[in-house]
Structure 1
Amino acid sequence: MAILQQQNEEIAQKRILAKQKAKARQSRPKTQKKDYVESFGSSGGLLLIRDDEFFKIRNSYKGERWLCVEGVIMKNNYNCAFILVYGALDRNEKLVMWEELCYIAGLCQVSCCFMGDFNEFVQVAERRGTDRLTPSAEEFKSWVHDMGLVDLPITDRKFTWFRGRSCSRIDRALVSVEWLEEFSETRLRGVPRGLSDHCPIIVEDKRIRDGPRPFRSLDSWFTHDGFLRMVKEEWRGLGGVQFTDKLKTLTIPLGRWHKANFGHMDKKILKFEEEIKKIDDMVGEGIYDGTVEARRRALIACCEKWYVKKELHWKQMSRSRHVRDIDKNTRYFHNLASTRRRNNRIDALVINGRLIWNQAWIKIAIRNFYKDLYHQEEAPMVGFRDGLVEMIDEEDALALEMQPTTEEVREKVWDCESTKAFGSDWHNMNFIKKCWDEIVLSS
């Protein structure tokens, strides 16, 4: 009986332990899963940890030095693929890996994000002590170009790998153009490397609140039939205010008008496209008459106008002067504008030996730097000795004091390049030229 009682107690204890383990498993996140490629020796090995609530996997592919998971980002239902890479050291092995990655990207047929240690650099400045690219670096650079990938710049450091005196940037993230169209704020930053010889890198899509955007007059406004009439009415309503003050004040009603007439441009285009599809479905089912055809033509005409407005907008944002307007290059202009914005943004700045991320502090530091740079302690005393400067005659003096005529001002304005503006928060010269009759002649 004692032995039987002891066995029953052991069974009860095992059941209790089993229940505790089951509860521990239930308390862990069920959505977290892993994919990996085993290491060989003391190097290699890839581990990808994902959350099914964020990224739902559809397919998984593995190679000796890469790991690809293809699926959908649940937040916006976006199809894409994440590819982790651990680059080879041997040149021939690298060529094989580039071919494999090219094949797997073609197999997925979705936007791709390549991340990891590529063991290669693409610019001379990315490896200290080097004055030229190696043959394998040239091949890697050509592969990136042929794949149509964008090498994300790292914002807070120059190198990502250190060993002795050697340092280089071999850890990177490469994304497709389609990826940047969906996640335009994608950036790459590094974190302290600790005991490792590699700096961990973080790819993030996070909009930085860097204050209000500067005002810009947009060329696409002039495609709206009522724009010039609105400008004329607002200009007259400002009364006898000084010309430059009028231009500055005009930015407020222009901002409201833009939001009402040009806001959510993509949604408006999508709405027209959906309406056109409905008409096409009706025609496909045999429902067709003069009214249906008239509505389809009207929808196509409206949709085309919005295509033009969108292309003009992104052409101006890209500051491209090499392609004509209305030339079916909206995507090209959008990518140029996104690249400019990404490259011009200062995400972090070293101030007094400290790395600062706060955008307000960065702005203050930059303003104070240039304020001190161009500050003049004393005004130089400039004098003229008697007889050094000759007195001009009365006719020339009167000519210098005469106010310029409207025709002379117009001539100088038309000599200015249309994209130029008086400042970063002002109207460009194209706005002045096209609104000349409404705002200048009426002043």
Structure 2
Amino acid sequence: MSGGIVSIWDASCFVKERIRCDSNFIIVKGPFVLIGDMNEVRNECDRMGSVFNRNEVDVFNSFITDSDLFEVPLCGRQFTWMNKPGSKMSYIDRALVSENVLSIFPDLRLTSMERGWSDHTPMLLHNLKIDFGPTPFKFYHSWMQYDDLEGVVQSVFEVEGSNGIPFPEKLRIAKGRIKSWIKEKKQTNMSRSKQIIIRLNDIELMIENGQATEEHLQERLSLFQEMASVNKKEDMVTDPNGIKNAFFEFYKKKFEYEPNQSLISDLLPQNRLNEDDCSWLERNVSELEIKEAVWACDSDKAPGPDGFTFLFIKKIWDIIKVDLLRSVTAAFNERKLPFRSSSAFITLVPKVDNPTLIKDFRPISLIGVFYKIVAKLLAIRLAKFIDKIISMEQSAFIAGRQILDGPLVLSELMEWYKLKH
């Protein structure tokens, strides 16, 4: 491994030598990796058919804790050593790394290979992460459990002299502040996790020695609840560039421009709005109208390039409503959206339960909250007059077709028209 990491493949000698040394022994600061046969287990379930020694296990676990080491999880097998008859098995081959190794390689995995004729299982230490390009910012609703989130947002929206900054630009600035803020939170949580592990180890030693009280047992349960977290597993996908290119070429061909010589006569609309209706549609936007549009949007919809959801917007409404009203009013008066607010992500949504082919997906656009708010305002206003301007012929629905098939449906109708005439 690169990055100045020291690999110690015959780890058992190093571990035993470290355990025998006195308290003045100092391990050189990493990054470093210990990988290989440790000749020791960490739990009783790590041995089967052989003698389990609690004292040796406690010493080994203490060595790992005192040295600030972390074990890389093993994938594929429960035991890494087996005698020839198969009557004895142990999990003694491990990978222990220092914390700064994880900061360099945060997606380390230890995968067991085929044992073959050896009594030990070969292990592969590798980095699981595959680069699909930069990871866009996304606001997670779980972040709202922190009380100081609103203070972070207020530091952007309520700064004196910032009234001239458009709302989308303030959201972009808030994104940077939130990214720095949540990074500090994660570091704090990591430090707390280490403290919990150390405390749990102390309590377990007291339990084994018969010194634990009822309060210690309750504390242990509380620490387990605090430590509980969801382990996210990433799917291992090969050749991401090939996958990207395959999807790109499929939809490029499907939606590429094809010149058509068919002529369509200009048709004047049969239904028109009167002056009063037009004036109502073009009236000034109010704060109440914007709030109704925001609350009409689903809170959990997938975010666009800005990374924010409407649950976040609703949570900080009192902080942002003045800036939002100013920017929406400017967009209506100038008939122009602020810079970057119309940007969108294109993502793929499966059309069937178990998609296996590219055609089983359909692309959709994920847009930012400001664009959605303006679009919702227009939709709410137009909904009051839609029956006056849309004819019955225009409201037809073709069953079994997707919205994206619109250009294809139109092309099919034009071909049918040419055949008939």
Judge same fold: TM > 0.5, yes or no.
Answer: no
Q: RCO (CA 8 Å, sep 6+): is it higher in 1 or 2?
A: 2
| TM-score calculated relative to the size of structure 1 | 0.38
Structure with the higher strand share, 1 or 2: 1
| TM-score calculated relative to the size of structure 2 | 0.39
